[in-house]
Structure 1
Amino acid sequence: MPPLSLLDNCKRPYYDGDVDFDTLATKDQDFAAICQQSKTKKWIDFQNPKVVQQLTKSLLKADFGLAVHLPDDRLCPPVPVRWNYVRWLQELLDTTSDEYSETYDSERKVLGLDIGVGASCIYPLLACSARPSWRMLGTDIDPHSFEHAHRNVEGNKLQGRIRLVLSKNEGPLMPLDAIGVEEMDFVMTNPPFYDSHDEMQASYTGKDAPPSAVCTGAENEMICPGGDIGFATRILEESLKLRGRVQWYTAMLGKMSSLQQIIVKLKDLGIGNFAVTCLQAGYRTKRWAVAWSFQDYRPRIDVARHGGLVQAVLPPAPAQTILLPLMGATWAGNKIDDLLNKLDVKWQWKKQSSMGVMEASQNVWSRSARRKKQFKQSSGAEPDGEEEGEECTVALAVKITCKHEAAELRWLRGQDYILFQSFSGLLKRELTGKP
């Protein structure tokens, strides 16, 4: 990954492969000092705690301009998967703004909460170093980790944007009222993965290879009641009370089976706006994350369904493509523009870019809705609609992009997937003559 000075840090990409030790050694002398050389490339001893610590320090320094202190008796966080979690959160927020934007908005002020910052405080540091308009809150129940986290925040001169709170184990995980916050944009956590020592040991048995790196984590970092499922379930239960006060509730998970169980819980609760990701970075390390929202802004499809995942955990696809063989963008755009101008919807069409956004307060394209409109027009009655200047309730918002031989539909807003499918079907029938 290129150094911070050579890359737009607000759009820094995912780590998608193993760390290139040869390249990192040229950037950081401290890392070069702990590398060993084979005939073809450099390698390191992942079972040596000091070596693993130096890898984390050197990556944070070379790629993000961060300097951290890591105590020997606490978890040493691998950087690539941690950054990939932050990067996914960036994309979640970038594609679910009220501006219907698909890109980073440098003017948007973002506030996030990291539950369990750990001694490194890596998530708040990564989030704030990458985007200057972001602020972070962080909690931890361990005074020892909390002390080191403070040191890392102050050492990177981010105390004006990162606020740490020492919390209690029996208290709420998201104490918005206690810390004086009315709303925030996201919650994140990298919870303890295991329910007990026995479960932790069992996770290493039967594998073809030993753990990829030595683990120095304290018990409270590795074990909690119910493991990662129990922790994520606590967040889910609290989110049912906080609801829209947080736009995105998220959690990292250690096993695909944990992700599957959380998705079942979301569906049982009727929470349909969710996103999933596989945060693989390199050959061996693989984690999963889930996000859910009570708001109605829908993430882009590659964000909602990110990484290699099984069909059972995927959310409804927030996109449709209508294939139009031999037809051009102008033809499709004219057909769609003509159709939507006849419906009681808010329609903004940009002819030059062959792109438009439709907002509807209800299904106004069904046969019954169109018959009702025709009856009112013939009888001289006022059409349904909002008074001038009155804000319209949005039940569905869709971005339509016309291209050569295709029309692409992107679900921007709404809670009803069937309504999105219905609108997509309308356009397909209009453009192709087929159901």
Structure 2
Amino acid sequence: MPPLPATKQHIERSYYDGDVDFDELAAEDAGFAAICNVSKDKRWVDFQDPNVVQQLTKTLLKCHFGLTISLPDDRLCPPVPVRWNYIRWIQELLDTTSDTYTDHHDPSREVLGLDIGVGASCIYPLLACASRPQWRMAGTDIDQHSLDYARKNVVANGLEQRVRLKLSFSAEALLIPLDAMGVEEMDFVMTNPPFYSSDQDMQASYTGKSAPPSAVCTGAENEMICPGGDVGFVSRILDESLKLRGRVQWYTAMLGKMSSLQTIVAKLRVLGVTNFAVTCLQAGYRTKRWAVAWSFRGHRPRNDVARHGELVLSVLPTATAQTIAVRGLSKEAAGEKIDGLVKGLDVKWRWRGETGIGVMEAKENVWSRAARRNRKFARVEKGSAAPKQEAGTDESSEEEEEEEEDDVVALAVKITFKEGEVELRWLRGLDYVLFESFCGLTKRALVGGR
């Protein structure tokens, strides 16, 4: 892959977790100040005015991300905070599921993502590239009018070499066309699908609410409605992911209702997809949105990323961390105990005593009694039956097999020692029972059986 072109300074920003400060925006942008109303020394805006909603989006993108966009009057104007929260969550998913096990952003890591349904704003690719200079984005849409505006916005921000857009000629076409794009693998797929299955479904969503929608909607029918609504659309992505599997590290989707999230999570569980994550993308005190992500690879996101935001118990994935309380044992003493224990196992173990952090990688369960006994017998048999190497035999194939075996990791765990507690972070693996078993081994070594 050729190096990415030099870009302006990228933006580092955390989640939006409250309402936007209109006073701050008005002080930074005269265009926004002009559309604000003031009463009792407090600024407010009319969210039922399409021009006001557009200006707020343009101002937030300009002031917080250094982006500029143009929007048609007959297509969706995307609220920025929730969209950014979606991008930020994907960043954390990738940052905490890398081969380095660092849980931090690696500025040198090149990432390729796909936005299904970029819309006229092209907001997700723009936000992704503005915040991470080593990221590239592909985007698709079934609407030529929206795609024309999206391309203008890409050009206006100088991102032609990092954002690639493609028209989907049919609503029935593949949603993740990796082969058609000449791409073998992607780091993530994202989508903000139409939430409703029909116009009646959309109208029904407002029935019984005490207040009208928080902002005027200018979306076209293809942006608001599709067969099966958000659940139907995301189910199509799920079906395609079952064929593509590990060619994409993370499949993600935004959902409009908690019930939609519950339905998709239930589908994942029925299909045996155990590595998934969920989030609530609420940015202020009004509209809530949710997102789900799933992966067929073994890297596990950090626990606060896998279970992010305000959620209900029924959608939570398996926890990826356990904490063991250690009373009467110093951080150093606890570290020495576990260092000695793990060194005696047939695993890879990287221990840093000065920081109190160790990373263990295992190809299988080698700590149970049965596993230790079987391992001992296997070594005896292998030693007695080992054939002699014939002269002139090519050893390269055997070396390659050994290298391939070294890449097989059934479980990876990071152990962090602190005063009074030890945290075990599930880094990699598809078998929760294996992680639980290793946690039990560690707990018995530290505090004894209970």
Answer yes or no: same fold by TM over 0.5: yes
Residue equivalent to 1:84 = 85
**Partner residue of 1:399 out of 414, 417, 440:** 414
Distance 2:343 2:12 in 1: 37
Deviation at 1:382, TM superposition (A): 8.1
Whether the aligned pair in 2 keeps the contact of 1:114 and 1:188 (CA below 8 Å) is: yes
Deviation at 1:389, TM superposition (A): 5.5
Residue equivalent to 1:422 = 437
Deviation at 1:127, TM superposition (A): 0.3
Flag the 1:101–1:33 CA change in 2: closer, same or farther, 3 A.
Answer: same
Residue equivalent to 1:161 = 162
Residue equivalent to 2:190 = 188
Residue equivalent to 1:37 = 38
2:246 is aligned with what amino acid?
G
Flag the 1:389–1:256 CA change in 2: closer, same or farther, 3 A.
Answer: closer
RMSD over aligned Cα atoms: 1.8
Whether the aligned pair in 2 keeps the contact of 1:70 and 1:76 (CA below 8 Å) is: yes
Distance 2:384 2:75 in 1: 69
Per mean C-alpha deviation after superposition, the further-off stretch among 180-189 and 368-377 is: 368-377
Deviation at 1:41, TM superposition (A): 1.1
Residue equivalent to 1:301 = 303
Question: Any idea what SS the aligned residue of 1:285 has?
Answer: coil
Residue equivalent to 2:69 = 68
Residue equivalent to 1:243 = 245
Flag the 1:381–1:430 CA change in 2: closer, same or farther, 3 A.
Answer: farther
Residue equivalent to 1:317 = 319
- Identity rate of aligned residues, in percent? 69
Question: Any idea what SS the aligned residue of 2:449 has?
Answer: coil
Question: Any idea what SS the aligned residue of 2:354 has?
Answer: helix
Whether the aligned pair in 2 keeps the contact of 1:118 and 1:146 (CA below 8 Å) is: yes
Whether the aligned pair in 1 keeps the contact of 2:10 and 2:133 (CA below 8 Å) is: no
Distance 1:11 1:294 in 2: 29
Flag the 1:383–1:416 CA change in 2: closer, same or farther, 3 A.
Answer: farther
Residue equivalent to 1:5 = none
Distance 2:136 2:434 in 1: 36
Residue equivalent to 2:392 = none
Deviation at 1:434, TM superposition (A): 2.0
1:385-434 deviations in Å (ceiling 9; x for gaps): x9876642210000000110111000000000010000000101111102
Question: Any idea what SS the aligned residue of 1:352 has?
Answer: coil
Distance 2:77 2:294 in 1: 28
Q: How many residues align?
A: 427
Whether the aligned pair in 2 keeps the contact of 1:373 and 1:383 (CA below 8 Å) is: no
2:91 is aligned with what amino acid?
Q
Distance 1:30 1:202 in 2: 36
Matches within 5 A, 1:356-375: 356-374=358-376
Distance 1:242 1:373 in 2: 36
TM-score relative to the length of structure 2: 0.92
1:322 is aligned with what amino acid?
I
Deviation at 1:131, TM superposition (A): 0.6
Distance 1:210 1:399 in 2: 49
Deviation at 1:370, TM superposition (A): 2.1
Distance 2:426 2:70 in 1: 44
Matches within 5 A, 1:88-237: 88-168=89-169, 169-237=171-239
Q: Which blocks of at least 5 consecutive residues in structure 2 are unaligned?
A: 1-8, 387-398
Question: Any idea what SS the aligned residue of 1:353 has?
Answer: coil
Flag the 1:36–1:325 CA change in 2: closer, same or farther, 3 A.
Answer: same
Distance 2:290 2:258 in 1: 7
Q: Which blocks of at least 5 consecutive residues in structure 1 are unaligned?
A: 1-7
1:310-350 deviations in Å (ceiling 9; x for gaps): 11101100100010023211011000001011111111100
Whether the aligned pair in 1 keeps the contact of 2:413 and 2:425 (CA below 8 Å) is: yes
Whether the aligned pair in 2 keeps the contact of 1:298 and 1:414 (CA below 8 Å) is: yes
TM-score relative to the length of structure 1: 0.95
Per mean C-alpha deviation after superposition, the further-off stretch among 161-170 and 368-377 is: 368-377
1:343-383 deviations in Å (ceiling 9; x for gaps): 11111100100101000000000111223345567899489
1:244-268 deviations in Å (ceiling 9; x for gaps): 1100000000000000000010001
Residue equivalent to 1:344 = 346
1:432 is aligned with what amino acid?
V
Distance 1:404 1:282 in 2: 36
Distance 2:262 2:385 in 1: 47
Distance 1:310 1:390 in 2: 41
Deviation at 1:99, TM superposition (A): 1.1
Flag the 1:167–1:364 CA change in 2: closer, same or farther, 3 A.
Answer: same
Distance 1:381 1:349 in 2: 30
Whether the aligned pair in 1 keeps the contact of 2:191 and 2:253 (CA below 8 Å) is: yes
Whether the aligned pair in 2 keeps the contact of 1:321 and 1:408 (CA below 8 Å) is: yes
Deviation at 1:101, TM superposition (A): 1.7
1:139-161 deviations in Å (ceiling 9; x for gaps): 00001101100110101110110
Flag the 1:77–1:339 CA change in 2: closer, same or farther, 3 A.
Answer: same
Whether the aligned pair in 1 keeps the contact of 2:117 and 2:142 (CA below 8 Å) is: yes
